[in-house]
């Protein structure tokens, strides 16, 4: 039987070209229409230092990075040690390491069993012989190609493109290194059963979640972006800065996040769709302005690419611990909308959706993504990047007669005029105000206007009951999770299905207002619930309990971030559940 | 004979007035600033629907509500970020930011620095009353050392800053100082500030009769006098000679230089980025993510 997919991990020191190696592998995969997920991890150094890259390639759909590595390439064992617990070869993995490495490791150290392969490869020597000392990584690509049936010609072209870009001679040396790797690979024990078998298909896009979020914004019509750099969201600012001017838009890198969200609210008040992106600490600084946007009913979109917190916490690693902050942080009663993206493609769609909701209902919308999907690269089908765009309703001529900016309408939102519109002049503020926007602090006005602002949540809830549901219509175990947990959960659900276990999953895209009805239907369709999240405080579990009741026998699987949720972790939870026999007991 | 062009509307100061009655205390200096602004706007015939007045929070920050243009009274200290968004995204809109000394120099100080540095296309009018008016009389960054306020019972232990000196140091390209008790002078200076391309900062000494008493008005009136004729407005050094005055308050244009504004520079970027090509579309950007080999 041919393999379903192949997960290759590469680890080395700064200068070993680990990232380039991963880039070429994933680009070649994308070029041939394979499904690819690529993740990278670095040491704490700003530049140089150890790095690791994991690339999963598959002819069929994949939803999460593979956690049991099939092939491990190690250029430096010392650096490998720094990724303890993050890069884990499967017991039957093929391990390829540099024979010149002064540090020695044994297959027992890594738990490689008899069905695995432990192979010393002269990476450095072959690179040196090829006249390109720094090209161990390209030699490595050659070896991998020979052993695992990768697309030789595609990788060759990718190597030339990457190295011959500036100087053709450099490209030629790299090619020599590649050929040397191919030849050496031919001398190693053949393992055809490990190779990837596939028919090349149309090329796919290779994109990160952050790029997809930025792209979604541009697609939605965003023409003003303000932001302050913060890992792991910075690529969104960088992307906007590169492309917006070419679309006639503008970007300001502000002095802080207070200014970023302020400028976004200002631009939106001026009639231009606008957005900012940040991570947890930045969202904290934006909190006051979100209150203003809610009160003055100015559309705005904030993407929060979550990282481990509090404070600087784990700035380069993922966590799902900004949930409470996104939904609840703020002063006063201030409606907002929170939606969550679950993978790279979803980053595109949720951002467009965020603009659609913000513009139509004139509310701030927070999009929660996280480092794991924000910074990983994934292949996408280019035809999938379509999404309807909603524009703000401007007042009609009729509505401009004695224009009331905050007319108390049945759905709570009222046509919003923009500078340039003659009859639509209004003065607004963060003070409680009447329908014209004039300050009014009487209790009854506050009550009426609060009701008006909160009323918007109803059509949003009704029209955007967005949630994904996987698995059979009736199941013994129902997993509830959100955001980036989707990938691991979906794969584990599919694995359970293969074993004949009935497991379903519920993953809301709309976080606030929470799709209570859809959730309650799900709850009724399963015997027992399992809530999964990457938050030590179990923010999601407690959040669910705020809006609905959860049975006492609900299982919680939660832990801190720092390491992405893996397929095996979810699989393990499912297996335990079925092994304990509790599926018979739970009330439906 | 060709027909005469249709008559353009002519705005008089009263056209810029909303029907909202100011909440200010009788005698507050901010009335003078508001009246001066109406007149300056009329003098320049600013189109109301293409003008936006943005403020933070404070007594003075209530001003946008009284001006018949697009207006936004936002949150404490953030007038300039909001103004940035309006000015950059809508270069066709004339943006005026207003506020108090606490709003602009304490909580919003960082934005003041960077807006000046960027040469943001905004006229920023700061109503300096050397006190926190709205919160009823606490010390402000411009309160003179030794003064007693609600939070300096034993006298202000801190030195005050001079807003004009800061603005010049930060890179503002137009800096002026006015006294709201001098209506004519204030109108003239607002007109000049509004005409300037780039960040124009006008500090208006605007007495708070309630928390600084009658003395503040009297002493400002006694001290205010026009800058000497022949003051070199292009020299920072010359300007700084007037920013540390204590016995007099020189009003007028302290500093005025030409330099590309933020919008000028962003326009240049748009031209460079496109290099003559039509506007890029999203599908074109998407294509750059396809492996091309
Ligand atoms: C975040 C925040 N902190 C504090 C306040 C309270 N506050 C409102 S106005 C103000 C200071 C007002 O002084 P100034 O800016 O000089 O304006 P003035 O009232 O004197 O015109 C303060 C501290 C607030 N509204 N928001
Ligand atoms: S408290 Fe002072 S600044 Fe505020 S309105 Fe009264 S006089 Fe003016």
Q: β-strands A35-42, A89-98: how paired?
A: unpaired
- Residue B253 bridge partners (DSSP): B176
Instruction: For residue B107, give the nearest of B78, B77, B143 by alpha carbon.
Output: B77
Q: Name the region of A336 (left: φ>0; alpha: ψ -120 to 50; beta: rest).
A: beta
Q: Is B48 exposed, middle or buried (CB count within 10 Å of its CB: 0-12, 13-18, 19+)? A: middle
Q: How many helices (H) and strands (E) does chain A have?
A: 19, 21
Which one of A203, A246, A419 has the shortest CB-CB distance to B90?
A: A419
Tell me the nearest-neighbour CA distance from B103 into chain A, angstroms.
Answer: 14
Phi, then psi, of B50 in degrees rounded to 5? -110, 25
Distance CA B220, CA B128 (A): 12
Show the 3-state SS of A332-365.
CCCCCEEEECCCHHHHHHHHHHHHHHHHHHCCEE
Q: β-strands A250-253, A224-227: how paired?
A: parallel
- The answer on pLDDT for A583 being more than 90 is no
Cβ of residue B101 lying under 6 Å from some atom of ligand 1: yes
pLDDT at A165 (0 to 100)? 87
Instruction: For residue A548, give the nearest of A504, A580, A516 by alpha carbon.
Output: A516
pLDDT at A199 (0 to 100)? 93
Cβ(A213)–Cβ(A303) below 8 Å:
yes
Q: β-strands B174-179, B200-205: how paired?
A: parallel
B128 alpha carbon – ligand 2 mean position (Å): 11
Q: Do B49 and A420 touch (CB under 8 A)?
A: yes
In angstroms, how far is CA B68 from the centroid of its own chain?
18
Distance CA B108, CA B87 (A): 18
Residue with CA closest to ligand 1 atom 9: B58
| Cβ burial A167-189 (10 Å sphere, 16+ → b, else e) | eeebbebbbbbbbbbbebbeeee
Q: Do B75 and A288 touch (CB under 8 A)?
A: yes
Instruction: For residue B272, give the nearest of A239, A225, A246, A241 by alpha carbon.
Output: A246
Helix (H, G, I), strand (E, B) or coil at A471: coil
Q: Which of residues 49-108 of A touch B (CB under 8 A)?
A: none
Mutual angle of helices A234-243 and A209-220, in 10-degree steps: 40
Cβ(B81)–Cβ(A258) below 8 Å:
yes
Q: β-strands A526-533, A503-508: how paired?
A: unpaired
Phi, then psi, of A555 in degrees rounded to 5? -95, 140
Q: Which residues of B touch A161 (CB under 8 A)?
A: 292-293
Cβ(A339)–Cβ(A303) below 8 Å:
no
pLDDT at B8 (0 to 100)? 76
Distance CA A259, CA A431 (A): 20
* Residue B168 token pair: 């010049």
pLDDT at A1 (0 to 100)? 32
Ligand 1: atom nearest CA of B30 is 21
Higher pLDDT pick, B235 / A43: B235
Distance CA B189, CA B213 (A): 26
Q: Mutate which of B57, B133, B216 to test ligand 1's pocket (most atoms within 8 Å of Cβ)?
A: B57
Distance CA A252, CA A276 (A): 10
B24 alpha carbon – ligand 2 mean position (Å): 6
Interface A-B: count of C-beta contacts within 8 A: 201
Residue with CA closest to ligand 1 atom 24: B76
Cβ(A321)–Cβ(A306) below 8 Å:
yes
Higher pLDDT pick, A15 / A303: A303
- The answer on pLDDT for A305 being more than 50 is yes
Which one of A205, A246, A250 has the shortest CB-CB distance to B88?
A: A250
Q: Spell out the alpha helix ranges (H) of A60-167.
A: 77-80, 123-129, 136-148, 152-163
Distance CA A40, CA A55 (A): 9
Helix (H, G, I), strand (E, B) or coil at B43: helix
Cβ(A532)–Cβ(A558) below 8 Å:
yes
Q: Which residues of A touch B270 (CB under 8 A)?
A: 245-246, 248, 250
pTM score, two decimals? Answer: 0.96
Ligand 2: lining residues by beta carbon, under 6 Å: B 24-25, 28, 30, 59, 129, 133, 208-211
- The answer on pLDDT for A2 being more than 50 is no
Cβ(A100)–Cβ(A125) below 8 Å:
yes
Which residue, among B85, B91, B98, B293, would best test binding to A if mutated, counting the most A CBs under 10 Å from its CB? B85
Q: β-strands B249-256, B174-179: how paired?
A: antiparallel
pLDDT at A582 (0 to 100)? 63
Cβ(B54)–Cβ(B74) below 8 Å:
yes
pLDDT at B198 (0 to 100)? 98
Angle CA B238–B240–B242, to nearest 5: 90
Alpha-carbon dihedral A493, A499, A501, A504, rounded to 10 degrees: 20
* Residue A525 token pair: 């369709």
Helix (H, G, I), strand (E, B) or coil at A232: coil
Q: Spell out the alpha helix ranges (H) of B79-208.
A: 79-89, 101, 109-118, 163-170, 183-195
| DSSP character string of A265-332 | HHHHHTT--EEEEE-HHHHHHHHHHHHHHHHHT--EEEEEEE-B-STTSBTTS-----HHHHHH-SSS
B60 alpha carbon – ligand 1 mean position (Å): 10
* Ligand number with the minimum distance to the CA of B132: 1
pLDDT at A43 (0 to 100)? 75
pLDDT at A84 (0 to 100)? 82
Average pLDDT of chain A?
A: 95
pLDDT at A166 (0 to 100)? 86
| Cβ burial B119-151 (10 Å sphere, 16+ → b, else e) | bbbbbbbbbbbbbbbbeebbbbbbbeeebebee
pLDDT in tens, A446-494: 999 999 999 999 999 999 878 999 999 999 999 999 999 999 999 999 9
Cβ(A139)–Cβ(A127) below 8 Å:
yes
Q: Is the peptide bond before A482 cis (omega within 30 degrees of 0)?
A: no
In angstroms, how far is CA B150 from the centroid of its own chain?
27
- The model's confidence at residue A49, banded by pLDDT at 50, 70 and 90, is confident
Cβ(A227)–Cβ(A32) below 8 Å:
no
Token pair 């092994």: residue: A579
Distance CA B70, CA B216 (A): 33
Q: Which residues contact A37 (CB under 8 A, 6 or more apart)?
A: A55, A56, A62, A64, A65, A66, A376, A377, A378, A379
Token pair 């000015």: residue: B87
> Which residue ranges of chain B lie beneath pLDDT 70?
1-3
The answer to whether A265 faces chain B, any CB pair under 8 Å, is yes
Q: Which of residues 284-313 of A touch B (CB under 8 A)?
A: 288-289, 291-292, 296
Which residue, among A201, A215, A383, A427, would best test binding to B if mutated, counting the most B CBs under 10 Å from its CB? A427
- The answer on pLDDT for A378 being more than 70 is yes
Q: Which residues contact A443 (CB under 8 A, 6 or more apart)?
A: none
pLDDT at B246 (0 to 100)? 85
Distance CA A502, CA A494 (A): 10
pLDDT at A587 (0 to 100)? 43
* Residue A308 token pair: 């481990």
Ligand 2: atom nearest CA of B134 is 4
- The model's confidence at residue A264, banded by pLDDT at 50, 70 and 90, is very high
Q: β-strands A51-58, A35-42: how paired?
A: antiparallel
pLDDT in tens, A515-568: 999 999 999 999 999 999 999 999 999 999 999 999 999 999 999 999 999 999
Instruction: For residue A3, give the nearest of A108, A138, A147, A121 by alpha carbon.
Output: A147
């Amino acid at each position: 039987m041919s393999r379903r997919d192949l997960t290759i991990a590469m680890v080395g020191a700064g200068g070993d070209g680990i990232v380039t190696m991963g880039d070429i592998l994933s680009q070649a995969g994308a070029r041939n229409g394979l499904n690819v997920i690529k993740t990278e991890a670095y040491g704490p150094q700003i530049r140089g230092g150890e790095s690791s890259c994991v690339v999963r390639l598959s002819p069929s759909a994949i939803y999460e990075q593979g956690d049991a590595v099939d092939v491990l390439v190690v250029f430096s064992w010392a650096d490998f040690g720094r990724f303890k617990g993050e890069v884990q070869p499967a017991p039957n993995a093929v391990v390829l390491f540099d024979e010149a490495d002064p540090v020695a490791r044994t297959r027992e150290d890594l738990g490689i069993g008899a069905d695995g392969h432990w192979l010393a490869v002269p990476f450095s020597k072959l690179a040196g012989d090829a006249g390109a000392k720094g090209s161990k990584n390209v030699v490595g690509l050659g070896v991998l190609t020979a052993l695992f049936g990768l697309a030789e010609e595609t990788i060759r072209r990718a190597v030339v493109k990457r190295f011959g870009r500036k100087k053709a001679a450099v490209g030629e040396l790299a090619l020599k290194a590649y050929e040397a790797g191919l030849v050496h690979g031919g001398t190693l024990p053949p393992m055809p059963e490990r190779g990837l078998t596939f028919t090349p298909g149309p090329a796919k896009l290779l994109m990160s979640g952050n790029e997809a979020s930025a792209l979604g914004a541009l697609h939605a019509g965003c023409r003003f972006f303000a932001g302050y750099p913060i890992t792991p969201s910075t690529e969104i600012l960088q992307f906007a800065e590169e492309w917006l001017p070419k679309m006639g838009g503008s970007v300001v890198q502000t002095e802080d996040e207070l200014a970023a969200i302020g400028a976004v609210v200002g631009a939106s008040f001026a009639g231009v769709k606008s957005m900012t992106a940040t991570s947890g600490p930045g969202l904290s600084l934006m909190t006051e302005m979100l209150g203003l946007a809610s009160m003055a009913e100015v559309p705005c979109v904030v993407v929060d690419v979550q990282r481990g917190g509090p404070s600087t916490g784990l700035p380069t690693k993922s966590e799902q611990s900004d949930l409470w902050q996104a939904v609840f942080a703020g002063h006063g009663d201030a409606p907002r909308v929170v939606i969550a993206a679950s993978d790279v493609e979803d980053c595109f769609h949720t951002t467009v959706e965020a603009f659609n909701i913000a513009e139509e209902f004139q509310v701030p919308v927070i999009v929660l993504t996280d480092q794991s999907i924000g910074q990983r690269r994934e292949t996408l089908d280019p035809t999938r990047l379509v999404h309807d765009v909603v524009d703000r309703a401007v007042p009609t001529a009729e509505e401009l007669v004695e224009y009331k900016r905050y007319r108390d309408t049945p759905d709570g939102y009222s046509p919003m005029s923009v500078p340039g519109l003659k009859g639509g002049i209004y003065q607004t503020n963060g003070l409680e105000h009447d329908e014209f926007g004039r300050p009014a602090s009487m209790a009854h006005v506050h009550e009426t206007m609060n009701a008006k602002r909160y009323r918007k949540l109803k059509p949003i809830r009704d029209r955007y009951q967005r949630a994904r549901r996987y698995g059979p219509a009736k199941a013994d175990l129902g997993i509830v999770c959100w955001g980036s947990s989707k990938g691991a959960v979906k794969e584990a659900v599919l694995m359970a299905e293969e074993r004949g276990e009935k497991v379903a999953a519920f993953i809301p895209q709309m976080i606030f207002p929470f799709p209570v009805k859809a959730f309650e239907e799900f709850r009724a369709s399963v015997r027992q619930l399992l809530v999964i999240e990457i938050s030590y405080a179990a923010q999601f579990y407690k959040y669910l309990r705020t809006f609905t009741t959860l049975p006492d026998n609900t299982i919680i699987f939660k832990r801190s971030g720092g390491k992405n949720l893996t397929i095996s972790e979810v699989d393990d939870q499912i297996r335990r559940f079925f092994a304990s026999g509790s599926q018979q007991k739970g009330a439906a | 004979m060709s027909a005469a062009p249709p008559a353009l509307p002519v705005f008089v100061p009263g056209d810029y007035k909303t029907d909202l009655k100011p909440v200010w205390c009788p005698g507050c200096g901010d009335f003078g600033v508001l009246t001066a602004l109406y007149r300056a706007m009329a003098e320049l015939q600013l189109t109301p629907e293409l003008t936006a007045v943005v403020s933070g929070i404070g007594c003075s920050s209530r001003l946008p509500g009284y001006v018949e243009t697009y207006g936004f009274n936002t949150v404490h200290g953030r007038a300039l970020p909001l103004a940035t968004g309006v000015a950059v995204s809508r270069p066709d809109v004339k943006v005026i930011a207003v506020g108090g000394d606490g709003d602009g120099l304490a909580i919003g100080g960082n934005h003041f620095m960077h807006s000046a540095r960027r040469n943001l296309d905004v006229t920023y009018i700061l109503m300096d009353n050397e006190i926190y008016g709205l919160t009823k009389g606490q010390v402000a960054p411009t309160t003179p050392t030794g003064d007693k306020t609600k939070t300096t019972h034993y006298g202000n232990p801190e030195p005050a800053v001079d807003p004009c000196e800061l603005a010049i140091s930060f890179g503002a390209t137009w800096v002026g100082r006015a006294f709201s008790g001098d209506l004519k002078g204030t109108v003239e200076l607002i007109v000049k500030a509004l005409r300037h391309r780039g960040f124009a900062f006008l500090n208006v000494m605007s007495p708070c009769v309630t928390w600084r008493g009658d003395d503040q008005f009297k002493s400002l009136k006694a001290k205010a006098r026009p800058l000497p004729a022949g003051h070199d407005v292009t020299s920072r050094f010359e300007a700084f000679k007037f920013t540390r005055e204590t016995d007099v308050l020189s009003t007028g244009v302290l500093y005025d230089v030409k330099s590309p504004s933020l919008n000028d520079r962003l326009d240049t970027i748009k031209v460079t980025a496109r290099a003559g090509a039509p506007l890029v579309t999203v599908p074109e950007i998407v294509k750059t993510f396809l492996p091309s080999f």
